[in-house]
């Protein structure tokens, strides 16, 4: 019996020793790692485009050392991971936490820019609702106001141009639609709105051509002539000249309709 007890005790001791060693091994593999190790792991995963692994490790940096020297970097890269995953709403959330919790960080400027860029990436095609587009526009404008000397300013200004062109086209196309269904006053209303709000976009000449068409159909020929004269004072692209020729034909056609109607009255 003594021998059996001794064997059992040795067996139990061996199992306990293996369990302890295994648990120690697990601790060195993650739970009690230094934040720097988590950060390094996260950066390697990010470079390999293993975004979920990178997110887990950046979160461990913040969990273990929320006020440490790597905290603001980890917070910024969390936003980067979600941005690269094209999960732009979560990217915005992470960048905002950077700007709010770590306002002292040199990464805050980039964070503000990436917030605007995240909204820009959510911007849909022009026929759809443009809530994200308008948010992006405001964010880029606020960014330029806050950081006028930023290296990202040229990119932000270019994005503003793209956004304004998209918003201008949405209004312009609304006017085109009304012109096609022969609601000419409504068409002019939208083109006037386009010209007033988006006077610095590439849709200015097309909007004026649309207005000219509507004025011909409404037989407001003086307004039509004013538009044509103003356009002809500028260097015009070949397609614009073609459109003006088409409008002149439409104008002459309308004059002939008026003449025929006058003849009928005299009979």
The whole-number pLDDT of residue 208 equals 97
Express the helix, strand and coil content of the chain in percent, nearest 5 each: 80, 0, 20
Instruction: Kindly report the number of other CB atoms within 10 A of residue 5's CB atom.
Output: 9
- pLDDT of the residue at 233: 80
**Given this model, what pLDDT does residue 168 score?**
98
The Cα 131–Cα 124 span in angstroms is: 9
CA 20 to chain centre: 52
State the pLDDT at residue 214. 98
- In whole angstroms, what is the distance from residue 81 CA to residue 54 CA? 7
CA distances from 232 to 2, 224, 225, 236, 240 (A): 114, 12, 10, 7, 10
Where the chain has pLDDT below 70, the residues are 1-32
Do residues 115 and 106 lie in contact, with contact meaning Cβ atoms separated by under 8 Å?
no
What is the structure's pLDDT at 32?
A: 66
Tell me the two tokens of residue 263. 């003849």
Contact present, 105 and 76 (Cβ < 8 Å): yes
Predicted local confidence at residue 19, as pLDDT: 44
CA atoms within 13 A on the CB side of 228: 20
Give the integer Cα–Cα distance in Å for 77 and 73.
6
Residue 31, pLDDT score: 55
């Amino acid at each position: 019996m003594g021998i059996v007890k001794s064997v059992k005790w040795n067996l139990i001791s061996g199992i306990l020793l293996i369990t302890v060693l295994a648990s120690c091994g697990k601790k060195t593999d993650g739970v009690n790692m230094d934040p720097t190790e988590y950060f390094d792991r996260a950066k390697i995963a990010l470079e390999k485009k293993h975004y979920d692994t990178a997110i887990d490790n950046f979160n461990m940096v913040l969990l273990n050392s929320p006020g440490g020297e790597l905290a603001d970097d980890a917070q910024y890269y969390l936003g980067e991971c979600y941005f690269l995953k094209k999960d732009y709403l979560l990217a915005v959330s992470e960048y905002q936490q950077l700007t709010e919790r770590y306002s002292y960080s040199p990464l805050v400027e980039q964070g503000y820019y990436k917030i605007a860029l995240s909204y820009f990436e959510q911007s849909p095609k022009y026929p759809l609702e443009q809530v994200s587009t308008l948010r992006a526009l405001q964010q880029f404008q606020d960014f330029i106001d806050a950081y006028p000397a930023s290296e990202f300013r040229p990119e932000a200004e270019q994005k503003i141009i793209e956004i304004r062109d998209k918003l201008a086209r949405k209004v312009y196309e609304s006017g085109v639609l009304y012109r096609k269904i022969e609601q000419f006053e409504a068409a002019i209303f939208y083109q006037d709105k386009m010209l007033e709000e988006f006077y610095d976009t590439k849709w200015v000449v097309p909007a004026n051509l649309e207005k000219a068409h509507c004025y011909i159909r409404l037989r407001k020929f003086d307004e039509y002539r004013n538009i044509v004269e103003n356009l002809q004072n500028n260097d015009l692209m070949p397609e614009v000249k073609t459109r003006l020729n088409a409008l002149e034909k439409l104008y002459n056609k309308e004059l002939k309709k008026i003449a025929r109607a006058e003849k009928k009255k005299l009979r």
